[in-house]
Every structure is written in C-alpha cells, then in structure tokens.
Amino acid sequence: MRFDDSASGISVIKRKDWRRIINVTAEIDEKAKGVTSVTVNRTLQDKFPDIEEKFPGYTVSYEGEFKDTSESMSSLLKSFIVAALGIYIILVWIFRSLSHPFIIMGVIPLTLTGIIWIFFFHGLPLSFMAMMGVVGLAGVVVNNSIVLIDFIRVKRMQGFNPFDAALDSSPKRLRPIFLTTVTTFFGLIPTAYGIGGYDPFLVPMAICLSWGIAFGTIITLFATPILYVAFADLRLVFFRKYQEVLGPEKKPTLEQIETEIEQTVKTDILTEIHAELRDEIKKIAHEEIAKKLTAEKKTPRKK
C-alpha cells in the first residue's frame, strides 16, 4: 500500500448535533429570470428524492436562504390569516351582519387565482415579496366590494328584491370603482416595470398589487352581485326549512284578534288624550304667564 504525500485531506471536521456535516454552498444568479433559492432547492429535492434510502445514516438538510424563506412564508401565512380575521371583524362591526363580510371577502380567493396567472405570464416566481403583496392586496381588493354591498343595502331598503338590487349595483357604481382602480393601477405601473429606475426587490410586490387590483376589480363587478343573490337564496331556503322543523304557524283565533284590536284602540285613545291634555296645559300655562307679565307692566313701580 502506498500513500500519496501530496494529497490534501480534510483540515476541519464540522459537527452539528454531535454529527459530522459537510456544507455544500453555492450562489445563485439573481439576474437570471425565474431563478430563486426556492426554485433551485426544489429542483435539488426532485433530483435527489431517495438519497437517504440509498445511503443509510446520511441525511440531507436544505438550509441557508431556502430555510429562511420557508420560515418567512409560514410566518406570512399566519399574518394573512390574522389580517383576514381582522378584516372580517371590522366588516361585521360596520355592516352589523355575519353574511355580508363573507360576500365581500369572497373576492379574495378569486383574485388569488388571477395572481397565479399574472406571475405565470410574466415568467416570475411567487417569491416572498410577491406573497407580501398578496397580503396587502387582500386589504385593498375588498374596497370595491364594500362599495357595491353598501349600495345594494340602500336599494334593499328602498324596496328592491335581492336580484334587482344586485343587478342595479354594478352599472351604478362602475364609475367610482373604475376611477379608484385606474389611479391606483397606473400609480404602481412605473415601479412594476422599472420606468425611471428598476428595483428587483420591489418589482414582484408592485406587479402583484397593480395587476391584482385590476383583476380583482373585474372579478368584483361580477362576483359580488352573484354572491349576494346566492346568499339571499340560501338564507331563504334555510328559513323555509327552519319553519318546516318548527311546524306551521298557528292562525290566531277570533278572540285573540278582537283582544288585540281592543288593546290597540285603547292605546291609541290614551295616546290621543295625553296629547290633548298636554297641549291644553301648555295653552293655560302660556295664558297665565302672559297675564302676569301684562299685570306687572301696568303696575307702577315705587321710587
């Protein structure tokens, strides 16, 4: 057996949790399109799916920026849930309803499907900044739904049925919704496409917000009235079944009707008598005060 004296060996043995480790590091090309630490590590995971089975005792841990991004994504998901709950609580407080906030927030998942297609056509990955834009978009995209639902409620108070009120809402509120969307969209476009200066850190968020608002507006004009009518129909079906469970309402007897009429008449008569007495007392009091004032003016003062 011969040993090569010129060969170099491992100068440092690193350990983690009392086990030997070997670090394999690499840098990604940030200028390359669609290349992130997440996509690279996912590709490696697909390339070596069964490395631990082939070599028992060995484990592979994908860390670095990939691990930090994964932890940040899980934290961002919790933030999104908290934000959604906060939006729901505020909407319940404003509308005094448990169903209307669901209708308003129903556009959020529909808008998220559009975000996926937007990033697909742009050839960009859903990075951490893009997901931060999604969280911010959830609070912005509901504004148009709030305008529509509020207008539908006004129409319902005027006597419109749910279908006619929902059908009349989108054309009547199109102008304010369109204007707010257009101003926000064109305000974000320079940042999204680097007009005047390109910042790759902010581009995913700007693209998510700008095109997400535009897509969400189109969805809102169609989806919100449909959801409102659907919830109204479900409420009607639910109450019908509820009445069937309780049984048919008992019709009042003739004696109950007569007693109710008599009580109503008595109440009306007493109310009328009280009003007349109050007016008469006020009239007498005014006359007495006027007499006293007249008498005081006629009585000469002693010097």
Residue whose pair of structure tokens reads 């108070």 in the numeric block:
157
Segments forming the whole domain that contains residue 129? 73-246
The count of C-alpha atoms lying within 13 angstroms of the C-alpha of 223, restricted to the half-sphere facing its C-beta, is 21
- pLDDT band for position 303 (cuts 50, 70, 90): very low
Q: Does the residue 166 lie in any domain?
A: yes
Local structure of 18: helix, strand or coil: coil
Any domain includes 193: yes
- Asked if residue 127 belongs to a domain, the reply is yes
For 67-109, the DSSP string reads HHHHHHHHHHHHHHHHHHHHHHHHHHHHHS-SSHHHHHHTHHH
pLDDT of residue 4: 56
Number of structural domains in the chain: 1
Q: Name the DSSP class of 299.
A: S
Question: What pTM, to 2 d.p., does this model score?
Answer: 0.59
Least confident of 31-35, 74-78, 189-193, 268-272: 31-35
For the chain, the average pLDDT equals 77
As a whole-number percent, the residues of the chain with pLDDT over 90 amount to 0
Instruction: Single out the residue of 153, 174, 175 nearest to residue 165, CA to CA.
Output: 153
Q: Give domain status of residue 131, yes or no.
A: yes
Assigned domain for 21 exists: no
What is the token pair recorded at 23? 């670090």
Assign residue 237 the CATH number of its domain: 1.20.1640.10
* Listed range (138-152, 228-242, 258-272) with the worst mean pLDDT: 258-272
Domain contains 100 = yes
Would you place residue 21 in the very low, low, confident or very high pLDDT band (cuts 50, 70, 90)? confident
Nearest to 224 by CA among 139, 113, 147, 117: 147
Domain annotation covers residue 96:
yes
Give the pLDDT of residue 220: 86
Q: What pLDDT digit, counting tens, does each position of 91-147 carry?
A: 888 888 888 888 888 888 888 888 888 888 888 877 778 888 888 888 888 888 888
User: pLDDT tens digits for 211-223?
Assistant: 988 888 888 888 8
Q: Is 284 exposed, middle or buried (0-12, 13-18, 19+ CB in 10 A)?
A: exposed
Alpha-carbon span 68 to 127, nearest angstrom: 12
Tokens standing for 252? 């009042």
How many beta carbons lie within 10 A of that of residue 217, not counting itself? 23
Q: Is the pLDDT of residue 242 over 70?
A: no
* pLDDT given at position 72: 74
> pLDDT per residue over 38-97, tens digit each?
677 777 777 777 777 777 777 777 776 667 777 777 787 888 888 888 888 888 888 888
Taking only the tens place, the pLDDT of each residue in 161-180 is 888 888 888 888 888 888 88
Which position has the higher pLDDT, 251 or 280?
A: 280
Assess if residue 20 is contained within a domain: no
